[in-house]
C-alpha cells in the first residue's frame, strides 16, 4: 500500500509541476483600451472566440460576433454585455461554409459599419461533410471562408489603419501539407473520413492559415495593416463537438488532464490584436504571447503565393 501511495504522490506532483510549467500559458499584458474601435470576431459565440470578445468588450470596443448560429450568438451577446457593461456588442450572421453568406456579411457590414480596426479569424471546426459550395467542410470553413472574408474587408481595414488581421491557427500546422492536386480534383485538402484523416485535414487547414498570413503580410506592405497567425495552446473548446462519440471518448482523458480553459486560450489572440510594438513582425506566427518560428513549409513564399491564387479562383475572385 505504501509504495502505491508514494507512486500516486509522485504522479500527482509531476502533474502539478507540468501544469505550472509546460502547460501554463502567459497572459496578454497590453493595457490598450479600444473606445471608438470596431472589432469583428468569427465564431465568437463560444470558446476562445467568446473569451476574446469578452476581453475586447471590457476594453470598450464595439464588438461584432460573426456567427452562424443566431440563438447561440445572441445568448453570447447577452452574456458579454452583462459582464462587460458594454452595450456596443452585437451579432451579425455569417456562415463560413457558404461563400454567398460570407459575401452577404461583408456587404451588410460595410453598409452598416464605418470602421473596422481588428478582424479576428477565430472560427474553426473538425467535422466531415461538404460546404454549400462543394468544398471539404474543414477546408471551406477553416481557410476559404476566412480568406474571402478578409479579402472583402481589406479596403475598410486600410481606411481605418493602423489595423490588424489575426488568424487563429494551431501547432498542428507543423504536420500539415498542401496537396494542390487534391484541391483541384476533390476541392479538398485530403481524402478520407476516419478520425486520423480528419486530424490530417485539420492540420492541413491550419497550415493554410499560416501560409495565408505569410502571403497577406507581403501584400499589405506599406499599408499600415498588419497580420498575425497563432497557436492558442491546448485548449478545451467545442471545436470537436461534431466529431463521433468514440473520438470524443478517446480524447476525453487527454483534454481533461492536459488542456486549459478558454480564457487562457484567448491570450495569444489578444496579444496579437493589441500588443504595441509588434508591427514589424507582421506575417509571423505567435505562441504563448511571443513570436515563434513557424514550420519551414509554412514560410515558403512560392507555396503561400500559389495557395492565395488558388483560393482566389475557388472563391470566384479571379
CA-to-CA distance for 211 and 157, rounded, in angstroms? 20
Is 202 known to be catalytic? yes
Report CA 270 to chain centroid distance, whole Å: 12
Q: What is the pLDDT of residue 113?
A: 98
* Paired residues of 290 in beta bridges: 287
List C-alpha distances in Å: 32 to 88, 276, 289.
18, 8, 15
Q: What is the pLDDT of residue 4?
A: 56
Question: Hey, what's the cell of 272?
Answer: 496579437
- Of 91, 202, 228, 285, the active-site residue reads 202
Q: Which fold has domain 28-314?
A: Rossmann fold (3.40.50)
36: left (phi over 0), alpha (psi -120 to 50) or beta: left
In tens, the pLDDT along 181-194 reads 999 999 999 999 88
Q: Which residues of the chain have pLDDT under 70?
A: 1-24, 235-259
Contacts of 201 (CB under 8 A, 6+ apart): 126, 136, 138, 139, 188, 189, 190
Question: Hey, what's the cell of 61?
Answer: 470596443
Contacts of 205 (CB under 8 A, 6+ apart): 124, 138, 139, 142, 143, 176, 189
Q: What is the CA radius of gyration of the chain?
A: 20
pTM of the model: 0.88
* Paired residues of 42 in beta bridges: 66
Q: What is the pLDDT of residue 260?
A: 79
Amino acid at each position: 500500500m505504501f509504495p502505491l501511495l508514494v507512486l500516486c504522490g509522485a504522479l500527482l506532483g509531476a502533474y502539478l509541476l507540468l501544469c505550472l510549467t509546460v502547460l501554463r500559458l502567459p497572459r496578454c499584458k497590453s493595457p490598450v483600451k479600444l473606445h471608438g474601435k470596431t472589432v469583428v470576431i468569427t465564431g465568437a459565440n463560444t470558446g476562445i472566440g467568446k473569451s476574446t470578445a469578452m476581453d475586447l468588450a471590457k476594453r470598450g470596443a464595439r464588438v461584432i460576433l460573426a456567427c452562424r448560429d443566431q440563438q447561440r450568438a445572441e445568448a453570447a451577446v447577452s452574456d458579454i454585455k452583462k459582464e462587460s457593461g458594454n452595450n456596443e456588442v452585437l451579432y451579425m450572421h455569417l456562415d463560413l461554409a457558404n461563400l454567398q453568406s460570407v459575401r452577404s456579411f461583408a456587404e451588410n457590414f460595410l453598409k452598416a459599419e464605418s470602421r473596422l480596426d481588428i478582424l479576428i479569424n477565430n472560427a474553426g471546426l473538425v467535422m466531415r461533410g461538404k460546404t454549400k459550395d462543394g468544398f471539404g467542410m474543414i477546408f471551406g470553413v477553416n481557410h476559404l471562408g476566412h480568406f474571402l472574408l478578409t479579402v472583402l474587408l481589406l479596403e475598410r481595414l486600410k481606411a481605418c489603419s493602423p489595423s490588424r488581421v489575426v488568424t487563429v491557427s494551431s501547432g498542428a500546422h507543423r504536420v500539415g501539407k498542401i496537396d494542390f492536386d487534391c484541391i483541384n480534383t476533390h476541392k479538398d485538402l485530403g481524402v478520407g473520413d476516419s478520425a486520423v484523416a480528419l486530424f490530417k485535414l485539420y492540420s492541413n487547414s491550419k497550415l493554410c492559415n499560416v501560409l495565408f498570413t505569410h502571403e497577406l503580410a507581403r501584400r499589405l506592405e506599406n499599408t499600415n495593416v498588419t497580420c498575425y497567425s497563432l497557436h492558442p495552446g491546448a485548449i478545451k473548446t467545442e471545436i470537436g463537438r461534431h466529431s463521433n462519440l468514440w473520438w470524443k471518448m478517446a480524447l476525453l482523458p487527454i483534454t481533461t488532464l492536459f488542456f486549459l480553459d478558454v480564457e487562457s486560450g484567448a491570450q495569444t489572440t489578444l496579444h496579437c490584436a493589441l500588443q504595441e510594438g509588434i508591427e514589424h513582425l507582421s506575417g509571423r506566427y505567435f505562441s504563448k504571447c511571443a513570436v515563434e518560428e513557424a514550420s519551414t513549409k509554412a514560410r515558403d513564399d512560392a507555396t503561400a503565393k500559389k495557395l492565395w491564387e488558388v483560393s482566389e479562383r475557388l472563391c470566384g475572385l479571379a
